[in-house]
């Protein structure tokens, strides 16, 4: 009886998936979403990426393989209970960014404005740098499906101070937003991207001389600001057949007075301490702490390992990112903040969580107020997310334990 019921549910799920796929493909065709797919690297760009130490047998490969429980992920997707509080019930309390403030020099030489998810404006020395900016209406090739932001950035791109550079961590839709790139197409903004991602930008009409591809540990100087791409453990691709044809990275940004590290999307990996040794200490870290799942624990850090990553790279203050704008994983939307705070208390880390749209200067901001609602969330003990050492689910990284989390 039980088996029959399961069979019927699986059949319904499969048929549903088929209908959904047809619907999505029809949507892509009718909305001419092809452009947003980008392009595979070819010719000189392909020849260049084939020299990357990360390139093996036609694709980019993580030094530490990723493990995932694909069956478990599908089972949860098709048959799992809905997650309570996965999206906000009330409007998120955002701040409208002030163009006059953003156009004035910061006091400390470092001002950061978070727009939700990993969309950030970092003002370091005299440079205005956007990280994985999301000004589009939906982070998907389709106009009517895929993650839509819960609130807009609150400021038009044209009202920002002139953007010197856009840093892109990898080509997933929630980091490389086609609409945002198109809105910046006519300016002089440079795009700093991992190897291969330049092919997407060129296919969208961005001139080659405005694109800088940085492999892990490579740097570029923008005046007194140096930007260095750092290793990450993730994956890439915007469409079938494009998986891992472009690389993924984080970035260290340094001026004479301040240093910032952005993790990019990453699972836990063995280069974090080396990043700290070579490029730290960092006044502020911006770390992927949301959109995690125990079925794919090597794709994103999760809150507890995000706090550990902060310590390994020698961060002073930590700002959790990759949460608070869209839902991509099965956890309450406020859970990343709650779990980062719990883990930070345990690991004695100082955390700043500004409202979306709020600007902070890390060295002048002692603390931020709680602005998200109280709702049920699951602790690290209840729902652990622990990366594998090397793609083997029986060998997990040793995460700090704390009786309080
Ligand atoms: Zn990603």
Q: Would you state the pLDDT for residue 331?
A: 97
Question: What H or E segment, with its residue span, contains residue 35?
Answer: helix 34-37
Whole-number Å distance, alpha carbon 287 to ligand 1 midpoint, is 13
Q: Is 168 helix (H, G, I), strand (E, B) or coil?
A: coil
Question: Tens of pLDDT along the chain (405 residues)?
Answer: 445 555 555 555 555 555 555 555 545 544 445 789 999 888 888 888 999 999 999 999 999 999 999 999 999 988 888 899 999 999 999 999 999 999 999 999 999 999 999 999 999 999 999 999 999 999 998 878 889 999 999 999 999 999 999 999 999 999 999 999 999 999 999 999 999 999 999 999 999 999 999 999 999 999 999 999 999 999 999 998 889 999 999 999 999 999 999 999 999 999 999 999 999 999 999 999 999 999 999 999 999 999 999 999 999 999 999 999 999 999 999 999 999 999 999 999 999 999 999 999 999 999 999 999 999 999 999 999 999 999 999 999 987 777 655
CA-wise closest residue to 301 among 288, 313, 314, 311: 288
Q: Would you state the pLDDT for residue 344?
A: 96
Whole-number Å distance, alpha carbon 265 to ligand 1 midpoint, is 5
Whole-number Å distance, alpha carbon 101 to ligand 1 midpoint, is 31
CATH of the domain at 109: 3.60.15.10
Residue 151 and residue 22 share a domain = no
Residue 173 and residue 25 share a domain = no
Whole-number Å distance, alpha carbon 257 to ligand 1 midpoint, is 31
For residue 368, tell me if it sits in a domain.
no
Whole-number Å distance, alpha carbon 9 to ligand 1 midpoint, is 30
Whole-number Å distance, alpha carbon 300 to ligand 1 midpoint, is 8
For residue 111, tell me if it sits in a domain.
yes
Whole-number Å distance, alpha carbon 223 to ligand 1 midpoint, is 30
Q: Which two tokens stand for residue 260?
A: 């910032």
Cα(107)–Cα(282) distance, rounded to whole angstroms? 18
Are the CB atoms for 373 and 87 separated by under 8 Å?
A: no
Whole-number Å distance, alpha carbon 157 to ligand 1 midpoint, is 23
Residue 155 and residue 23 share a domain = no
Residue 315 and residue 234 share a domain = yes
Question: With the C-alpha atoms ordered 286, 292, 298, 303, is the resulting torsion angle positive or negative?
Answer: positive
Are the CB atoms for 98 and 157 separated by under 8 Å?
A: no
For residue 288, tell me if it sits in a domain.
yes
Residue 250 and residue 146 share a domain = yes
Measure Cα distances from 339 to 58, 180, 347 in Å. Answer: 38, 31, 12
For residue 47, tell me if it sits in a domain.
no
Residue 143 and residue 20 share a domain = no
Residue 133 and residue 228 share a domain = yes
Cα(112)–Cα(359) distance, rounded to whole angstroms? 6
Residue 18 and residue 160 share a domain = no
Number of domains composing the chain: 2
For residue 112, tell me if it sits in a domain.
yes
Cα(127)–Cα(402) distance, rounded to whole angstroms? 40
Residue 255 and residue 120 share a domain = yes
Which residues, listed in sequence order, are joined to residue 129 by a DSSP beta bridge? 122, 165
For residue 370, tell me if it sits in a domain.
no
Whole-number Å distance, alpha carbon 107 to ligand 1 midpoint, is 34
For residue 207, tell me if it sits in a domain.
yes
Checking phi first, is residue 392 left (phi over 0); if not, alpha (psi -120 to 50) or beta? beta
Q: Would you state the pLDDT for residue 3?
A: 53
Residue 161 and residue 20 share a domain = no
Whole-number Å distance, alpha carbon 170 to ligand 1 midpoint, is 7
For residue 55, tell me if it sits in a domain.
no
Residue 152 and residue 6 share a domain = no
Residue 247 and residue 142 share a domain = yes
Q: Which two tokens stand for residue 197?
A: 């991602």
Domain that holds residue 151: 99-360
Which residues, listed in sequence order, are joined to residue 315 by a DSSP beta bridge? 282
Sequence-separated (6 or more) residues with CB below 8 Å from residue 47: none
């Amino acid at each position: 009886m039980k088996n029959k019921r399961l069979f019927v549910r699986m059949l319904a799920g499969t048929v549903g998936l088929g209908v959904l796929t047809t619907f999505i493909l029809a949507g892509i065709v009718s909305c001419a979403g092809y452009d947003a797919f980008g392009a595979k690297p070819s010719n000189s760009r392909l020849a260049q990426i084939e020299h990357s130490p990360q390139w093996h047998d036609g694709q980019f490969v993580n030094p530490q393989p990723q493990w995932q429980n694909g069956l478990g992920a599908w089972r949860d997707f098709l048959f799992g209970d809905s997650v309570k509080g996965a999206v906000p019930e009330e409007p998120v309390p955002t701040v409208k960014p002030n163009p006059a403030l953003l156009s004035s020099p910061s006091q400390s030489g470092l001002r950061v404005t978070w727009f939700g998810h990993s969309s950030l404006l970092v003002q370091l020395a005299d440079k205005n740098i956007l990280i994985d900016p999301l000004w589009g209406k939906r982070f998907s090739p389709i106009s009517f499906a895929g993650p839509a932001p819960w609130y807009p950035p609150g400021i038009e791109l044209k009202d920002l101070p002139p953007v010197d550079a856009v840093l892109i961590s990898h080509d997933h839709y929630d980091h490389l937003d086609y609409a945002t790139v198109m809105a910046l197409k006519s300016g002089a903004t440079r795009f700093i991207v991992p190897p291969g991602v330049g092919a997407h930008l060129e296919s969208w009409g961005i001139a080659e001389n405005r694109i800088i591809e940085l492999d892990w540990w490579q740097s570029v100087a923008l005046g007194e600001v140096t930007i260095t791409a750092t290793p990450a453990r993730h994956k890439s691709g915007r469409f079938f057949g494009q998986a891992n044809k472009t690389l993924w990275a984080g970035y260290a940004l340094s001026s004479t007075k301040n240093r910032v590290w952005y993790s990019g999307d990453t699972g836990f990996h063995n280069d974090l301490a080396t990043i700290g040794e070579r490029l730290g200490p960092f006044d502020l870290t911006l770390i992927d702490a949301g959109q995690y799942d125990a079925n794919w624990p090597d794709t994103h850090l999760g809150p507890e390992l995000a706090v550990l990553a902060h310590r390994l790279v020698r961060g002073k203050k930590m700002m959790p990112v990759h949460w608070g704008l869209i839902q991509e994983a099965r956890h309450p939307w406020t859970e990343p903040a709650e779990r980062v705070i719990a883990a930070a208390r345990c690991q004695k880390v100082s955390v700043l969580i500004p409202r979306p749209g709020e600007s902070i200067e890390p060295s002048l901001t002692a603390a931020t107020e709680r602005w998200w609602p109280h709702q049920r969330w699951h602790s690290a003990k209840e729902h652990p997310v622990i990366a594998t050492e090397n793609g083997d689910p029986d060998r997990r990284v040793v995460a700090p334990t704390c009786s309080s989390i």
